[in-house]
Each structure stands twice: as C-alpha cells, then as structure tokens.
Amino acid sequence: MRIDVLSIFPSYFDGLTLSLLGKAQESGLIDLRVRDLRDWTSDRHRTVDDTPYGGGAGMVMKPEPWGLALDEIAGSSGEAPTERPTIIFPSPAGEVFTQKTARALATREHLVFGCGRYEGIDERVFEYASDLGEVRLISLGDYVLNGGEVATMAMIEAIGRLIPGVVGNPESLVEESHEDGLLEYPSYTKPASWRERSVPDVLLSGNHGAIASWRREQQIERTKRRRPDLLPGDETAPV
C-alpha cells in the first residue's frame, strides 16, 4: 500500500517510522510518503492560508497549494495506472472512523491523507479532489483538534496494522475490541496473585471450553456496561 500524507507539519509523522509501521515500510509493505504542503506554494512566505469570505474568525487554507499537490500526488503522475486513490481529509464534519472503516481502507492500494489546519480547507478542494479519487471526510470523534495530523496518525496506525504481514501474528488481530462488534475480554499474566489480587480461577483451569465461555460473557458484560450502543437490540443475539 502506498500512503501519501500532505501536511504543513510533516515532522509530526516522524513517529510512524518507528516500530511496527517502521518495519512495514522497510519491508515495502507500506510505502509512506510525507510531503510538506508548502512545497506547492510560490510566494516568499510560502503562504497556505487566507481570511474567510463572508467574514468570521480564523483563517482558511487556500485552494491553490492543495490543487497543485493533489495533481502531483493523486493525479496519474506517470506511474503505472492503479486504482484511483482514496483521498482522506480528517475533519470534525466527517463520517466517524470505526474498525469497519479501517478494515475497508486496509484493502486499498493508495491512500492520500490531507491534513487541514486553521478553520479548515477551502470547500472547492474537496470538490476538485473528487475528480482525482474517492474523497472521504473522516472524523475520529465528536471533538475538535487543531489539525488533521493526529487523526491521520491514528488512522494510519489502525489501517496499517490490518495489512497482511504488518503484524507478526495475525491471530492477535482477531480477539480484540471491535473485531467482533464487542469490547475485548480482560487479560491477565503472571504472577497468579499480585498485591492480594488473584487471576480468575477459570483461566488457570485448563478447561478451554469454560475459558472461552467466560471470555464471551466478559465481552458481553463489558460492552453492556461501557458501550451499550454497540449492542444490537437483543444483546444475547449472536454478534
């Protein structure tokens, strides 16, 4: 998978070269290219923002740099024609990102992330970008960040770890929260007793059927308690 990131703070993404995603890049599973949006400005101050038409506080990101950058990155830049890229703009006004979104995006060949700053990006950029690829405005949740970089980091990690070969043991991707629509069961490791607190006996029983049932009960109980919104109407229905 090729992932392009456009940001006025490209060094935000230095962290992605570490650990898991770092190895994925070395092995060629992920081709991550982080670019500074200011590289597509032409004035001395490398200006990327201006005042909003219609007034209002703050600044809006100018369309010109975005248009030039997207033409180069998302346009058919002479490389072998592959599927059109999916162009993602993190935004508080976007669809909510879930594990389902991550799974769907992990199947794509080419993702482009456009990190907004200030009060946002000129709306015409999203319209123009839809001629170059599938445009998705995606929100991590109902809160506002100062820019799209943190949301992009989170999405790249959530998507990247689902790409076959990135995570050593794919089994570890199966039993985790949201994979089966429920929160994950509690985990324990040695010592069996720690500060007067013991590991649930069932987990020491060696009875794999009982352990599986106990874990499923824990998933349902936790989901009911912390995230009832995830449960279908009838919480005993198979998820």
Ligand X SMILES: COc1cccc(COC(=O)c2cn[nH]c2)c1
Based on the shown chain and the rule CB under 6 A, indicate whether residue 65 belongs to the binding site for ligand X. Answer: no
Annotated ligand binding at 118? The verdict is no
- Report if residue 147 touches ligand X, rule: CB under 6 A: yes
Which are the contacts of 172, defined by CB distance < 8 A and separation ≥ 6?
none
In the list 101, 139, 177, 218, the residue contacting ligand X (rule: CB under 6 A) is 139
CA atoms of 152 and 52, how far apart (whole Å): 25
- Asked whether residue 162 is marked as a ligand-binding residue, the answer is no
Beta strands in the chain (DSSP E): 2-7, 31-36, 49-50, 60-61, 86-96, 110-114, 134-139, 193-194, 197-198
Task: In angstroms, give the least distance from the CB of 66 to ligand X.
Answer: 11
- The answer to whether the Cα torsion of 87, 130, 105, 238 is positive or negative is positive
Q: Which residues contact 217 (CB under 8 A, 6 or more apart)?
A: none
Identify the helix (H) or strand (E) that includes residue 69.
helix 63-73
63 belongs to the binding site for ligand X (CB under 6 A): no
Name the closest residue to ligand X (Cβ): 116
Q: Is 92 in the site for ligand X (CB under 6 A)?
A: yes
141 in contact with ligand X (CB under 6 A): yes
If one asks whether residue 144 binds ligand X (CB under 6 A), the answer comes out as yes
Ranges of H-type helices in 178-229:
208-226
Place of tokens 């990006």: 121
How many residues touch ligand X (CB under 6 A)?
16
CA dist., res. 19 & res. 118, Å (int): 31
Binding mask 109-138 for ligand X (x = CB under 6 A): -------x---xx-----------------
What character string, x for contact with ligand X (CB under 6 A) and - otherwise, covers 153-172?
A: --------------------
49 vs 180 by CB, closer to ligand X:
49
Verify binding: residue 57, ligand X, rule CB under 6 A.
Answer: no
Are the C-beta atoms of residues 31 and 79 closer than 8 Å to each other? Answer: no
State the minimum distance, in angstroms, from the CB of residue 138 to ligand X.
7
Site of interaction with ligand X (CB under 6 A):
89-92, 116, 120-121, 139-141, 143-145, 147-148, 151
Binding region:
116, 140-145
